[in-house]
């Protein structure tokens, strides 16, 4: 039997999952690659992998997709790694630079700008000065480890998961384990057990991280992130996809 091909995001928020996959017998049944969110999604679209921990917005690019795990990358409020950093108040933003690494977070920003903040700035992709411009009416979306320690550098900072909760009353799902084909129930059961093993050993994962003075990894992995794919998170996921379709 061929190994199941899996792509996962290579950020700190996925390290508990990676730990679980690498420290349980399932490692001998999978081919695991670590990628950026956008590359992870593209591999699933191109059928280079069978399962991906992909930004949920990318599911709309798949002809067939199935959520195959009880776990996800989610949050019940502020997540502390998905932001709009801005040089002005959000209502005054004229230009928004998008993050090349995440379709979901860019779409989340667009959904919130249109439906919550009621503003529609110019959207800029692949900006040469991404994240560095001092234009007074410019902001940028940024996610993942690159955001660690940046909150103090900007006068206006918006945690998109926190804003989504204020807007909808729901948690948010940034990435889910999605397959582009039917996966056996036996494998899914073992896969879930491996992911749970990693979550149960987050204390060990923390010992492998290099401490920073400007970011609390323990708070992030133990409290800010919520890894359970609950019914409320599923409701939020499908609501988010509906908002994207309406953009």
**99 and 152 share a domain?**
yes
**32 and 98 share a domain?**
no
**62 and 31 share a domain?**
yes
**123 and 159 share a domain?**
yes
242 falls within a domain: no
Last residue of a domain, one of 138, 168, 198: 168
**185 and 117 share a domain?**
no
- Look up the CATH number of the domain holding residue 70: 3.40.190.10
**90 and 162 share a domain?**
yes
121 falls within a domain: yes
Mean pLDDT of 203-226: 97
**Which residues constitute the domain of residue 98?**
82-168
Mean pLDDT for the chain?
A: 96
Identify any residues that bridge with 159 across adjacent strands, giving them in sequence order: 83
**163 and 116 share a domain?**
yes
What's this model's pTM, rounded to 2 decimal places? Answer: 0.94
Q: Which two tokens stand for residue 238?
A: 């499908």
Residue 32's CB is within 10 A of a number of other CB atoms, namely: 17
Find the DSSP H helices in the chain. 15-22, 37-45, 103-115, 160-168, 185-200, 202-207, 217-219, 231-245
Last residue of a domain, one of 115, 140, 168: 168
- How many H-runs (helices) and E-runs (strands) does the chain carry? 8, 11
216 falls within a domain: yes
The predicted structure's pLDDT at residue 1:
73
244 falls within a domain: no
Task: Give the model confidence (pLDDT) of 100-121 as tens digits.
Answer: 888 889 999 999 999 999 999 9
Last residue of a domain, one of 118, 134, 168: 168
The predicted structure's pLDDT at residue 241:
97
Structure confidence at residue 215 as a pLDDT band (50, 70, 90): very high
**62 and 126 share a domain?**
no
The predicted structure's pLDDT at residue 38:
86
**177 and 145 share a domain?**
no
Task: Give the model confidence (pLDDT) of 170-209 as tens digits.
Answer: 999 999 999 999 999 999 999 999 999 999 999 999 999 9
List Cβ neighbours of 184 (8 Å cut-off, separation of 6 or more).
Answer: none
Task: Give the model confidence (pLDDT) of 139-175 as tens digits.
Answer: 999 999 999 999 999 999 999 999 999 999 999 999 9
Distances in whole angstroms, Cα of residue 115 to Cα of each of 169, 171, 231, 237: 14, 17, 23, 16
| Spatial distance between the Cα atoms of 177 and 73, rounded to a whole number of angstroms | 9
Percent of the chain surpassing pLDDT 90: 94
Report the alpha-carbon angle 208-213-216, nearest 5.
Answer: 60
Cβ pair 30, 177 in contact under 8 A: no
């Amino acid at each position: 039997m061929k190994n199941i091909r899996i792509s996962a995001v290579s950020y700190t928020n996925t390290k508990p999952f990676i730990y679980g996959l690498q420290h349980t017998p399932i490692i001998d049944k999978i081919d695991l690659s670590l990628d950026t969110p956008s590359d992870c999604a593209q591999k699933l679209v191109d059928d280079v992998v069978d399962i991906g921990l992909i930004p949920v917005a990318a599911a709309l690019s798949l002809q067939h997709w199935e959520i195959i795990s009880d776990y996800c990358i989610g949050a019940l409020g502020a997540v502390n790694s998905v932001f709009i950093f801005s040089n002005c108040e959000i209502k005054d933003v004229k230009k928004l630079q998008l993050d090349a690494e995440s379709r979901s977070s860019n779409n989340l920003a667009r959904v919130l700008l249109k439906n919550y903040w009621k503003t529609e700035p110019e959207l800029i992709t692949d900006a040469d000065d991404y994240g560095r411009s001092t234009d007074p009416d410019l902001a940028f979306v940024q996610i993942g480890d690159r955001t660690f320690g940046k909150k103090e550098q900007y006068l206006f900072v918006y945690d998109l998961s926190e804003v989504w909760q204020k807007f909808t009353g729901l948690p948010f799902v940034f990435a889910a384990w999605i397959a582009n084909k039917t996966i056996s129930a036996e494998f899914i059961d073992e896969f879930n057990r491996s992911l749970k093993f990693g979550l149960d050993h987050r204390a060990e994962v923390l010992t492998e991280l290099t401490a920073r003075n400007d970011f609390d990894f323990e708070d992030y992995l133990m409290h800010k992130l919520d890894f359970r794919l609950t019914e409320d998170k599923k409701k939020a996921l499908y609501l988010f996809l509906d908002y994207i379709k309406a953009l």
